[in-house]
């Protein structure tokens, strides 16, 4: 695809977005090695750097510590990997596997680990002597040990497993370590890995004011000091401590300038050290604007609690019927909710035209459906991740495990069925669409009692408009009639909604397995709802929510007290387990997404 600046045609809207995302310079002007630039163009199809790449690459090449903050889907992965590869391919004599690990990329999830690894493999195609590798929780330790013993030059890892190997794998050589990159730095900390990170930095001798390794090689580049990078679309005050202990006179790329400025030369930046130190204290997120893709269309839909499920599946049906070939991601707050909705959507049948038993029913949604959450087996997670990536048309139901960094091609729409809580998570969830210069829509479900959440998002510069729900519901030909021209003032009395809700409830009632899944999902939903913190606790108040209506949103007819009993039992069981395992409540809730 050509850039607008190179054509004589009038720029279209897509071209304008493209101009926002891409810089008007070439990869070679950033200072990257020519073979690497060729690699980016020929193997990866990257004609020009994105704005963040054009700004960050020269600064990272200069050896300075850097904080990189740019909107989701703007190419931050290559922005930090390319300079590392540039330096490593230049070492003389050539790096060998036996030299051990030179660069470490820390990521919060398995899927992101695999994704960064794949990008790295492509970048290294012409530099076969630089060995990439990844280690992550849930994988076979002894196989990882064997690979570490052979030597991995650039290692991508999740923090827990890395610490494990640092402590227990004697053959893991890291005395040559020069780079540590924290991708999605804020999320790594939010997941409760703060202590592990401090320990990792300590073991690796990469905490601030620690002397630099004397184990230098012959080349000049080899002697230069360690360099750490913190990267995310939402670097906020949560990373201040990590920045303080891991970064020395850092440069900040992409803070507070939505339209990025031209590249400042590293030499010049080096003279502004004091300014940089002052800027280092990142403020927000209570008031700061987050970087969101300019082309993203963000909507919200106000739905009464009891009709949430009916509305969700109706909207999904509408979207897939409007455009059969597309990808949609729906976010839920818990693993149980993902499992319930996945089973429901895989099995639920409905006739749009009649309620008669004899009528041939069809599967309500006929798209390929995937699920992804932290309670799934590693192998299944991997299959989903690869499967959803390669499909042209599919639906993914997931928790926040898929919110960060994942680059699924051509996702057209993000639905946040359960609200994300922190505005940062909102930003990352919607960031799975509208990547680079692509179009994308997002839809946030809110109950009438949750509408203040819009103001919370507004404080961060997130603008949302209302989704035309009644119009969409009116387009369904329920019972042989098209309601297009009729005006229905409320969702509750809508002739499409009521029979659908009844059919859902009847389906759950008739299927004991489904009922069990629904009850479990209900309990988890209430638990997650009560886990909101800080400012959000005033918006998502469980006492304001009618539990009977919540049950309806899982197509349960039971009275809340009945379901509530099993909830209490579950809560007691969970507390007992937590006590036995000695796990903190916070960690348990956050890590299992």
Ligand X SMILES: Nc1ncnc2c1ncn2[C@@H]1O[C@H](COP(=O)(O)OP(=O)(O)OP(=O)(O)O)[C@@H](O)[C@H]1O
Residues lying near ligand X in the complex (CB under 6 A) are found at 46, 49-50, 53, 72-78, 233, 405, 407, 431, 435-436
Query: Considering the complex, what minimum distance in angstroms separates the CB of residue 43 from ligand X?
Result: 11
CB of 408 to ligand X, least distance (A): 9
Question: What is the DSSP annotation of 235-302?
Answer: --GGGHHHHHHH-SS-EEESSS-SSPPPPPPHHHHHHTHHHHHHHTS---SSSPPPP--TTEEEEEEE
Strands 362-363 and 349-350 turn out to be antiparallel
Residue facing ligand X at closest CB distance: 75
The CB density around residue 446, as the number of other CB atoms within 10 Å, is 19
Measured from the CB atom, is 33 or 77 closer to ligand X?
77
**C-beta of 434: minimal distance to ligand X in Å?**
10
CB of 115 to ligand X, least distance (A): 7
The Cα–Cα gap between 138 and 516 comes to 28
Nearest approach, Cβ of residue 251 and ligand X (Å): 18
Shortest approach of ligand X to residue 163 CB, angstroms?
23
For the bound state, the minimum distance from the C-beta of residue 164 to ligand X, rounded and expressed in Å, comes to 25
Please identify, using beta-carbon distances, which residue of 45 and 512 lies nearer to ligand X: 45
Query: Least CB distance from residue 350 to ligand X, whole Å?
Result: 36
- What 3-state DSSP class applies to 362? strand
Give the residue with the Cβ less far from ligand X, 56 or 545.
56
Count the residues in the chain.
593
**Exposed e or buried b for every residue in 195-223, given b needs 16+ CB within 10 A?**
ebbebbbeebebeeeeeebeeeeeeeebe
Nearer to ligand X, 239 or 556 (CB): 239
CB atoms within 10 A of CB 256: 12
Q: In terms of CB distance, is 111 or 144 closer to ligand X?
A: 111
Structure tokens at 545: 């929510």
Distance CA 525, CA 193 (A): 25
Q: In this complex, which beta carbon is closest to ligand X, that of residue 1 or of residue 360?
A: 1
Distance CA 209, CA 246 (A): 9
The smaller minimum CB distance to ligand X, of residues 70 and 514, is found at 70
Pairing between strand 154-157 and 66-69?
unpaired
Which strand ranges, in their side-by-side order, compose the sheet holding 179-183?
132-135, 154-157, 103-106, 179-183, 227-232, 66-69, 251-253
Shortest distance, position 21 Cβ to ligand X, whole Å: 8
Query: 395: how many CB neighbours lie within 10 A of its CB?
Result: 25
Beta carbons within 8 Å of 85's beta carbon, 6+ residues apart? 36, 120, 123, 124, 127, 130, 154
User: How far is Cα 446 from Cα 249, in angstroms, rounded to an integer?
Assistant: 43
- Helices 51-61 and 76-89, packing angle to 10 deg: 30
* CA–CA separation, 335 and 463 (whole Å): 29
Find all residues with CB under 8 Å of 390, minimum gap 6, and list them. none
Degrees (nearest 5) of the Cα angle 175, 176, 178?
Answer: 120
Smaller CB separation from ligand X, 15 or 511? 15
Least separation, in Å, of the C-beta of 312 and ligand X? 24
Shortest distance in whole angstroms from residue 414 CB to ligand X? 12
Q: Which tokens in the block code for residue 564?
A: 């509530």
Q: Which of 511, 526, 512 is nearest to 563 (CA)?
A: 526
Report the nearest approach of ligand X to the CB of residue 13 (Å).
19
Is the peptide bond preceding residue 375 cis, with omega within 30 degrees of 0?
Answer: no
**Minimum CB distance to ligand X, residue 94 (Å):** 27
**Residue whose CB is less far from ligand X, 157 or 233:** 233
For tokens 């989704």, name the residue.
Answer: 467
Judged by phi (left if over 0) then psi (alpha if -120 to 50, else beta), residue 254 lies in left
Helices and strands (H and E) in the chain: how many? 23, 16
Alpha carbons 437 and 553: distance in angstroms, whole number? 36
Q: At what angle do helices 159-168 and 141-150 cross, to 10 degrees?
A: 70
Which token pair is 351? 């006739």
Q: How close are the terminal C-alpha atoms of the chain, in Å?
A: 38
- The distance of closest approach from Cβ of residue 84 to ligand X in the complex, given in angstroms and rounded to an integer, is 14
Cite the beta strand spans of 31-178 per DSSP E: 66-69, 103-106, 132-135, 154-157
Shorter beta-carbon distance to ligand X: residue 125 or 208:
125
Give me the least distance between CB of 81 and ligand X, in Å please: 9
């Amino acid at each position: 695809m050509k850039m607008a600046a190179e054509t004589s045609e009038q720029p279209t809207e897509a071209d304008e977005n493209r101009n926002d995302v891409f810089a008007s310079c070439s990869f070679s002007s950033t200072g990257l090695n020519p073979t690497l630039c060729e690699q980016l163009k020929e193997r990866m199809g990257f004609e020009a750097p994105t704005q963040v790449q054009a700004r960050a690459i020269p600064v990272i090449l200069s050896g300075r510590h850097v904080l990189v903050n740019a909107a989701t889907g703007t190419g931050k992965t290559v922005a930090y990997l390319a300079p590392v590869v540039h330096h490593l391919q230049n070492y003389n004599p050539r790096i060998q596997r036996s030299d051990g690990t030179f660069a470490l990329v820390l990521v919060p999830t398995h899927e992101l680990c695999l994704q960064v690894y794949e990008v790295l493999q492509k970048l290294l195609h012409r530099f076969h002597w630089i060995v990439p590798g990844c280690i992550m929780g849930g994988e076979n330790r002894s196989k990882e040990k064997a690979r570490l013993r052979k030597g991995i030059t650039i290692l991508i890892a999740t923090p827990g497993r890395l610490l494990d190997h640092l402590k227990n794998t004697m053959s893991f050589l890291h005395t040559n370590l020069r780079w540590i990159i924290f991708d999605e730095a804020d999320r790594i900390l939010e997941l409760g890995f703060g202590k592990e990170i401090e320990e990792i930095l300590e073991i690796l001798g990469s905490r601030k004011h620690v002397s630099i390794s004397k184990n230098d090689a012959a080349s000049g580049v080899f002697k230069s000091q360690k360099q750490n990078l913190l990267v995310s679309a939402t670097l906020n005050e949560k990373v201040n401590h990590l920045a303080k202990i891991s970064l020395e006179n850092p440069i900040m790329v992409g803070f507070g300038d939505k339209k990025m400025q031209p590249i400042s030369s590293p030499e010049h930046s080096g003279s502004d050290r004091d300014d940089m130190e002052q800027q280092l204290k990142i403020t927000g997120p209570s008031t700061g604007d987050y970087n969101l893709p300019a082309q993203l269309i963000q909507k919200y839909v106000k739905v009464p609690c009891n009709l949430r499920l009916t509305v969700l599946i109706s909207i999904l049906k509408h979207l897939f019927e409007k455009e059969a070939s597309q990808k949609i991601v729906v976010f839920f707050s818990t693993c149980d909710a993902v499992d319930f909705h996945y089973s429901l959507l895989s099995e639920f049948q409905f006739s749009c035209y009649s309620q008669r038993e004899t009528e041939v029913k069809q599967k309500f949604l006929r798209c390929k459906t995937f699920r992804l959450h932290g309670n799934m087996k590693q192998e299944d997670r991997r299959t989903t991740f690869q499967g959803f990536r390669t499909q042209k048309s599919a639906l993914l139901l997931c928790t926040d495990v898929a919110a960060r960094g994942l680059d699924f091609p051509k996702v057209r729409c993000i639905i946040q069925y359960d609200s994300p809580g922190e505005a940062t998570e909102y930003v990352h969830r919607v960031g799975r669409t509208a990547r680079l210069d692509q179009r994308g829509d997002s839809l946030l479900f809110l109950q009438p009692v949750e509408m203040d959440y819009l103001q919370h998002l507004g404080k961060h510069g997130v603008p949302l408009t209302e989704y035309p729900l009644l119009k969409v519901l009116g387009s369904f030909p329920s019972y042989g009639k098209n309601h297009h021209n009729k005006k229905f003032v409320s969702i509750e009395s809508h002739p499409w909604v009521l029979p659908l809700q009844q059919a859902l409830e009847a389906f759950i009632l008739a299927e004991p397995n489904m009922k069990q899944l629904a009850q479990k999902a209900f309990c988890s939903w209430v638990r997650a709802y009560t886990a909101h913190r800080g400012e959000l606790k005033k918006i998502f108040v469980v006492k304001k929510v009618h539990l009977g209506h919540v049950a309806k949103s899982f197509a349960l007819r039971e009275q809340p007290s009945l379901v509530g009993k099993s909830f209490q039992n579950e809560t007691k069981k969970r507390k007992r387990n937590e006590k036995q395992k000695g796990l903190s409540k916070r960690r348990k809730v956050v890590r299992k997404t």
